[in-house]
């Protein structure tokens, strides 16, 4: 059972999640795009990746609460990698959309993807970022398998075009392997979240005809909610920093670290029990800021989610072992420094605020954590202090008795 303040936080995060209407519409859009490509000569496997695939979507851009949802999709064509260059693949997919009356006025081309922007659906805008891809070569997959604790995940590795400011080069990625890894960790948490299916249906009865029709991807576990809470709080915190966009931790880091921590937590934990567990773990890893590599490992030998290897920060991508998610931490020391500062502030604004005696102080922490505008939209003036009453000296004052 959640307290009234915990419910306020959960409802705030739910308000930033993708709605059942948008989820259904986005799925339809995925299928329509795949059919369109097939009709125009591109046979491809079209599938979501990132937060949409993992169930951790949060409306982006803390500076604009009307911002569009960015949903990532992979367009994995059947061509063999050896038969075309990275640039040729990107241009092949791009030209199909640019030559179409259906999509030409909806697309924007960026170095990393082709974006299709859709009009307001279900109260919010969204766009689909399409990333062209091919199956990765077996020789590269084998190199990854040799370093992996989960070689079975490598089978779905892909090659995508990545722009290096001069030209497109091949870059190895593995969103399906990552999703498999995440789903395995999330599975026991999902068993305790199934009771929410009825609540989702009650809020989406105009979209789905029965409880059974509610997709699993709309059921949020405590693990998924914790990730959403941290992602939103990250956006708010770093939006307040002058160079926040440059040092903000990517979502993959938050998702990977929290999921790895969740392996050792009780899957029956509520959202806030798991969040406290995660903060406790982060507090241990923050000792890296004062201890050297050897000292930390001597004191916390079992802690391997965030590491230093030969003085370099390292966070392993579980589905792609040669990919160090913390590469940027080694290039800019402000990134790990502010990462742990952010988490300390997040713990105060979210967990500590739940126990404050003063409702107005809780409201301040809530707005600090998730943004004043979204809090106002979610709970109105609740927990706001009553404005002081003013005396109007121009009014006649009637005596109590005559």
Q: What is the pLDDT of residue 193?
A: 72
Helical packing angle, 222-239 and 175-191, nearest 10°: 120
- Span between the terminal Cα atoms of the chain, in Å: 56
Q: What is the pLDDT of residue 25?
A: 85
Q: Where are the domains of the chain?
A: 1-17+220-382, 20-174
CB crowding 130-144: b at 16 or more within 10 Å, else e: bbbbbbbbeebbeeb
Assign 213 a pLDDT band (cuts: 50, 70, 90): very low
Could you tell me the CA-to-CA distances from 305 to 60, 247, 301, 314 in Å, in that order?
A: 26, 20, 11, 9
Examine the pLDDT at 312 and tell me if it is beyond 90: yes
DSSP helix/strand/coil, 372: helix
Assign 211 a pLDDT band (cuts: 50, 70, 90): very low
The burial of 39, by beta-carbon neighbours within 10 Å (0-12 exposed, 13-18 middle, 19 or more buried), is given as exposed
CB crowding 319-356: b at 16 or more within 10 Å, else e: bbbebbbbebbeeeeebbebbbebbebbbebbeebbee
Mean per-residue pLDDT over the chain, rounded: 88
Summarised one tens digit per residue, pLDDT across range 66-82 is 677 889 999 999 999 99
Examine the pLDDT at 397 and tell me if it is beyond 90: no
Q: How far apart are CA 306 and CA 59, in angstroms?
A: 27
Q: What is the pLDDT of residue 215?
A: 53
Question: Taking a C-beta distance cutoff of 8 angstroms, is the pair 224, 55 a contact?
Answer: yes
Average of pLDDT values for 308-321? 95
Q: What is the pLDDT of residue 203?
A: 53
Q: How far apart are CA 399 and CA 391, in angstroms?
A: 15
Count CB atoms within 10 A of the CB of residue 168.
20
Q: How far apart are CA 140 and CA 158, in angstroms?
A: 10
- Of 288, 235, 226, 236, which Cα lies nearest the Cα of 257? 226
Q: What is the pLDDT of residue 386?
A: 62
Q: How far apart are CA 177 and CA 180, in angstroms?
A: 5
* Residue, of 63 and 30, whose pLDDT is higher: 30
Instruction: Note the CATH architecture for domain 20-174.
Output: 2-Layer Sandwich (3.30)
Q: What is the pLDDT of residue 110?
A: 93
Could you tell me the CA-to-CA distances from 66 to 13, 50, 62, 91 in Å, in that order?
A: 15, 21, 9, 32
Summarised one tens digit per residue, pLDDT across range 160-204 is 999 998 999 999 999 999 999 999 999 999 987 766 655 555 554
- Cα R_g (the chain), whole angstroms: 24
Question: Taking a C-beta distance cutoff of 8 angstroms, is the pair 283, 348 a contact?
Answer: no
Q: How far apart are CA 282 and CA 305, in angstroms?
A: 10
Question: Taking a C-beta distance cutoff of 8 angstroms, is the pair 175, 74 a contact?
Answer: yes
Count CB atoms within 10 A of the CB of residue 56.
25
Sign (positive or negative) of CA dihedral 314, 317, 323, 327: negative
Q: What is the pLDDT of residue 70?
A: 87
Average of pLDDT values for 278-287? 98
Average of pLDDT values for 149-153? 95
């Amino acid at each position: 059972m959640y307290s009234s303040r915990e419910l306020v936080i959960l409802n705030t995060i739910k308000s930033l999640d993708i709605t059942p209407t948008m989820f259904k519409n986005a799925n339809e859009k995925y299928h329509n795009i795949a059919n369109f490509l097939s009709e125009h000569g591109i046979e491809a496997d079209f599938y979501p990746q990132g937060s949409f695939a993992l169930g951790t979507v949060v409306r982006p851009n803390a500076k604009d609460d009307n911002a569009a949802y960015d949903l990532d999709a992979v367009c994995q064509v059947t061509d063999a990698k050896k038969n075309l260059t990275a640039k040729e693949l990107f241009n092949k997919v791009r030209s199909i959309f640019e030559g179409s009356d259906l999509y030409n006025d909806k697309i924007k081309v960026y170095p990393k993807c082709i974006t299709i922007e859709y009009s307001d659906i279900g109260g919010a805008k969204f766009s689909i970022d399409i990333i062209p891809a091919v199956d990765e070569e077996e020789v590269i997959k084998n190199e990854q398998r040799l370093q992996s604790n989960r070689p079975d995940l490598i089978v779905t590795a892909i090659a995508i075009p990545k722009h290096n400011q001069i030209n497109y080069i091949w870059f190895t990625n593995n969103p399906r392997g990552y999703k498999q890894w995440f789903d395995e960790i999330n599975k026991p948490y999902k068993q305790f979240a199934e009771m929410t299916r009825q609540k989702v249906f009650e809020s989406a009865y105009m979209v789905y005809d029965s409880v059974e029709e509610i997709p699993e991807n709309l059921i949020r576990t405590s693990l998924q909610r914790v990730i959403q809470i941290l992602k939103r709080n990250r956006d708010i915190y770093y939006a307040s920093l002058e160079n926040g966009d440059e040092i903000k931790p990517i979502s993959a880091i938050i998702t990977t670290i929290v999921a790895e921590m969740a392996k050792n937590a009780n899957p029956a934990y509520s959202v806030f029990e798991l969040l406290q567990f995660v903060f406790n773990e982060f507090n241990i890893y923050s000792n890296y800021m004062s201890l050297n590599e050897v000292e930390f490992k001597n004191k916390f030998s079992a802690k391997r989610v965030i590491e230093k290897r030969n003085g370099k920060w390292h966070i392993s991508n579980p589905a792609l072992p040669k990919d160090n998610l913390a590469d940027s931490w080694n290039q800019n020391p402000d990134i790990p420094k502010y990462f742990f500062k952010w988490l300390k502030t997040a713990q105060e604004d979210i967990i500590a605020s739940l126990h404050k005696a003063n409702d107005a102080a809780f409201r301040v922490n809530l707005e600090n954590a998730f943004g004043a505008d979204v809090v106002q939209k979610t709970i109105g003036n609740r927990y706001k202090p009553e404005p002081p009453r003013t005396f109007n000296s121009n009014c006649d004052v009637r005596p109590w008795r005559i």
